[in-house]
Chains A and B, each alone.
Chain A
Amino acid sequence: MSFARSFAAAVLAALAFAAVEKTASAATVTGVQTAGKDYSRSISKDDFGAGFQLYARSTAKDYAQMCTYTDPEARCASVVSFVKPICKTIWQAQHAAYCAKGATVGYSAEGKAGTDVTLFGKDFDLFSISGGAYAEPESTTASYGIYVLGKKIRGASASELSVDIPIAERTLVSASATFNLGPVPITVKGEATGSLGIELAMSAGTATIGGRARPYAGVDGVFSAGVGVSGASVGIYGDLLLVEVSTPATAKITSLGNKRFAYDAALDLEIHTLDGSVGLYGEFMSYRKQWEIFSWSGLEYSYNLGRTQGSFSL
């Protein structure tokens, strides 16, 4: 996108939100309750880092209250005129849909693991894996999704799901630089390579939905280097673990009637990250010289984040 278009988009987005801010007090989000377990942590060393966001949670919604909240007249009352059409588009359709559901409720149970990594000083939304079950008055659905760098690569939805979806080891992201060091062209390359997946057993019964989701991933840094000179050899050795994460999660929600719900959520977590060493070598005619570039001792976390149970009313 051209600079002018980017700038215009930026200004319009800012204006759009300025308009939303004015109306924020018109109605607060009502009719939605959430309970569960979550975890968030980020770790960084040098130009590398990893951040984790995980949760297991149950949500219930009161559609009558959401019908009120999504009233487009209220939501878009103070919106500037050129943003109003799109604002109304968004809220009108939702409003109609929620109001049509009448005095009913919807509820869902979800588990999710997402990891950002910082490689070579740049941030990547490395992967996100989620699974959940959703009960609406008219249907029930279970679904999962696996994203790599914001791209969805696997996903499905069905009335219930019991699957183990492993994605084979592959390069998820790579960064390379080729430059001249004096007269010598050099390429250095780093790849984040690994596997990820989800084990999911989600179902929706007449009053209870939920199940177990275990998102998992193991991603390593694989480095290489080469010089643009025939016969010469300069390379990289070593192994580096960027992240190994496994998060068994259970989330269940039961409708007790009269807009009352019981929930049950548990989350365990095992993380192993930033472990290993990387070095540079030069191969001479009869021997090899090598020296370490950096070394990490590794960080391991194993948490039973516990279980939370209870009930709430909408």
Chain B
Amino acid sequence: MNPSKKNVAAVLVALVLAGGGAFALRSTGSSVKAGSAPEASEAPLAKNGGAIEGKAARAARDLRLGRSFTYDVKAARTVGSGDKVAMATKIGGRLVLTVVGEAEGGAAVRAELLTPSREDQPAVAGSMNGLSTPFFFVVRADGAIGSFGFPKTMPGDARRQLRSIVSALQVVTGEKDAWQTRESDGAGELVASYTRRGDHLEKTKLSYERLRTPNGLVTPGSMGGTYEVRGGAQIDVDASGWPTSLVEDVAITATFQQVKMAMVEKTEARLVAQGEAKELAGSYEAAKGSFDGDEDALAEGAALAQKNADENLVGGASFRTLLADLEAAKDGRGRSKTAARLGALFRTKPEAVEEARSILLAKGTKESTAKSLAAALGNGGTKEAQKALSDALRSNDTTPGTKTESAVSLGLVEKPTAEARKALTEAMKSPSSDVSDSATLALGNLAKAASESGDPDALGKGEQEDAVSLLLAKLAAAQTPGEKALALDALGNSGDARALDAILAHVGSGDTIVRAAAVGALRFIMDEKAAQVLALATRDPDASVQMAALNGIGTRPVVPFLGALRQVLAEDDDVQVRLTAVRVLARAVNVVTEVESILAEVAAKDADAKVREAATQALSKPKAPVER
């Protein structure tokens, strides 16, 4: 057991919103003593947490049913970078917390912000909506807040702001004078440390271990970023165990995709009244059926953030404006950005797809414009965009060049539709070899995307299988090396293990083009046999086959292939093959220690200066701070 787990395990009794005492809740039935004065000595100790002894028992928490505590709260949140503030929010009011019953794993507390006030820079539309809506949270036996329950009608922004305020008041206690806990808040799961001096607690937020995302809780590293937190809270508690005052000052710095953003959270709370609200007992049970799950609130905000990111990229431009920009762009740089902006427009404004479709399909449209639109619709990737691309593939008025670009686009969408599969299947019979070949390759790409998308609205499993079956039939019918290579390339794109036997039947072909295509087709098939063949094919007499094998190895964890790579680097005469091996190894620098020793040897001893330089450059890659 690691130290933090040990500390968590040592937390005997849960505390909510104050430290140093015992969480105590009797059932909502007769055993709950409601309506009496909050005296610490009367509060029973939690059975599941174990006995509270010594200092912890000294400040037992009053969590009797109906007990109510009112705080004046002021919360300030700023988002920016460094000392530059891009957004600021101030929320104030009287936060009333009332123990209202038992909940799974702990106690239910009703929260309501009375007389709320709010200021935002920039102004936020409807910012007051939902701020005074009562909501609930559950305190688990380990002292952490386990979950929140928000009415379905409560806006996501109000949920997140109120959750942030309540979470700022969260305290998980320990038995001694200093301890660490793992707790959660609106951003994710964090490790915090506490120290106690009498009735004063000092809380420090140490690190976020996992972040709340639309895909659940994930580590910052798995998202390719870092998330740092500094600061904490000063908390005074009285004999009731509830805080009498709290001042939190926390700075969070998130760095993702090279963008660094900072949030400063300041929260002040002062206990101004205690009382009884017996009439609220049972309100949690009564309201529970109308709650949204926690993740729903996040999904709403995340979807809005993603939509706003797209809208910011579009910058208010219309389809016609962006199309004119695209046609007028003098260089690739301008065209690239406009293509990305068009894709964002298609994601946020479905009506723009219809405009693009009408131009794409019009007989007189310049081919370069139509091809750019086909690519931009692929960037959009929506169902409507895929429908437009499918129509372009079928149209008698579009050129083979436009059809080819449409096929490429459909092969690269993340969530392909059945419509796209059907259109590509039809296009495989096109009299234009450019169109039919591109559609064949795209069908393989589409099958892989469908298997990875996880979108129930995307292509079904049966249709994915149909696509692979069609490609297998194409391989079986292929006569020339070119036809065989094309079908193998498409099956390779699919990464479908059902194609393995058919592919393996060609890895010994005497025709280099076919053999290279067959070995290359193993790159996405994560199978034992495929791995064996890739390792063996690094010794193929033809460099193009060796490089196909090395590229296939590059899609996998490199460790099992270190022997093969070492031998290629030590013995192969072909400089390009050795350079490809270095390229494969370069991706695992900072991840696998042995890779660095192999590259160091190559950098020192390879007969070719270019290979030595490539190895040296690979070794100079900056140490990655993120997980791979």
Contact = CB atoms under 8 A, between A and B. Distances in A.
Interface string A292-306: 011000000000000
A285 B122 contact: yes
Contacts of A24: 539, 567, 571
A261 interface: no
Contacts of B524: 150
A44 B589 CA distance: 14
B186 A180 contact: yes
A42 B622 CA distance: 13
B385 to A, nearest CB: 12
B532 A193 contact: no
A88 B170 CA distance: 66
B254 A185 contact: no
Query: Which A-B residue pairs are the 3 nearest by beta carbons?
Result: A97-B510, A282-B86, A93-B508
A289 B259 contact: no
B305 A150 contact: no
Interface in A153-188: 153-158, 167-171, 175-188
A46 B376 contact: no
Interface in B365-383: 368, 371-372, 374-376, 378-379
Contacts of B340: 171, 191, 193, 222
B319 to A, nearest CB: 16
Contacts of B337: 193, 220, 222, 239
Given A13-B560, A21-B563, A225-B309, A182 B265 contact: yes
Interface string B413-450: 00000000000000000000110011001101100100
A222 B338 CA distance: 10
Nearest to A181: B263
Interface in A1-16: 1, 5-6, 8-14, 16
Given A182-B77, A225-B259, A281-B86, A20 B539 contact: yes
B336 interface: yes
A118 B626 CA distance: 13
A278 B306 CA distance: 19
B270 interface: no
A31 B541 contact: yes
B507 interface: yes
28 contacts: A8-B528, A9-B526, A38-B575, A70-B541, A94-B510, A101-B510, A106-B512, A120-B256, A151-B412, A154-B438, A168-B375, A169-B339, A169-B372, A171-B343, A181-B261, A182-B265, A183-B77, A193-B379, A218-B336, A224-B309, A226-B306, A227-B305, A230-B125, A230-B126, A230-B304, A234-B312, A291-B81, A294-B258
Interface in A222-236: 222-236
A94 B515 contact: yes
A107 B404 CA distance: 31
A14 B2 CA distance: 34
Interface string B280-302: 00000000000000000010111
B509 A42 contact: no
Interface in B245-261: 252, 254, 256-261
A148 interface: yes
B587 interface: yes
B607 interface: no
A189 B347 CA distance: 14
Nearest to B611: A40
Interface in B514-569: 515, 523-524, 526-544, 551, 554-557, 559-564, 567
A168 to B, nearest CB: 4
A227 B87 contact: yes
B409 interface: yes
B211 A179 contact: yes
A150 B523 contact: yes
Given A183-B160, A187-B308, A34 B223 contact: no
A182 B91 CA distance: 14
A145 B437 CA distance: 11
A109 interface: no
B43 to A, nearest CB: 32
Nearest to B223: A177
A167 B557 CA distance: 31
A193 B539 CA distance: 36
A143 interface: yes
B260 A232 contact: no
Interface residues of B, dominant DSSP: helix
Contacts of B344: 224
Contacts of A17: 535-536, 538, 560-561, 563-564, 567
A62 to B, nearest CB: 10
Interface in B291-344: 298, 300-313, 331-333, 335-341, 343-344
A9 B531 contact: yes
Interface stretch (B49-57, B99-107, B478-486): B478-486
B80 interface: yes
Q: Which of A125, A154, A168, A226 has the most CB of B within 10 A?
A: A168
B260 A143 contact: no
A203 B48 CA distance: 81
A101 B252 CA distance: 69
B84 interface: yes
A181 B509 contact: no
Given A20-B535, A176-B257, A120 B224 contact: yes
Interface string A129-147: 0000010100101010100
Contacts of B212: 179-180
Contacts of A154: 404, 408, 437-438, 441
B388 to A, nearest CB: 15
A87 B508 CA distance: 10
Contacts of A134: 512-513
A75 B537 CA distance: 12
Contacts of A282: 79-80, 84-87, 122
Nearest to B378: A170
A200 B157 CA distance: 56
Given A100-B510, A185-B298, A193-B336, A120 B84 contact: no
B190 to A, nearest CB: 12
Contacts of B86: 234, 280-282, 289
B625 interface: yes
B601 interface: no
B536 A40 contact: no
A39 B490 CA distance: 30
A151 B438 CA distance: 12
B123 interface: yes
A222 B575 CA distance: 35
Nearest to A195: B332
Interface in A22-68: 24, 28-29, 31-32, 34, 38-42, 44, 46-49, 51, 53, 55, 57, 59, 61, 66
Given A44-B622, A179-B227, A186-B305, A16 B539 contact: no
Nearest to A152: B489
Contact of A177 (B225, B372, B481): B225
Given A153-B442, A281-B86, A282-B86, A18 B563 contact: yes
Interface in B200-232: 211-214, 220, 223-225, 227
Q: Which of B80, B340, B626 has the most CB of A within 10 A?
A: B340
A83 interface: yes
A29 B302 contact: no
Interface in B19-61: none
Contacts of B467: none
Contacts of B625: 121
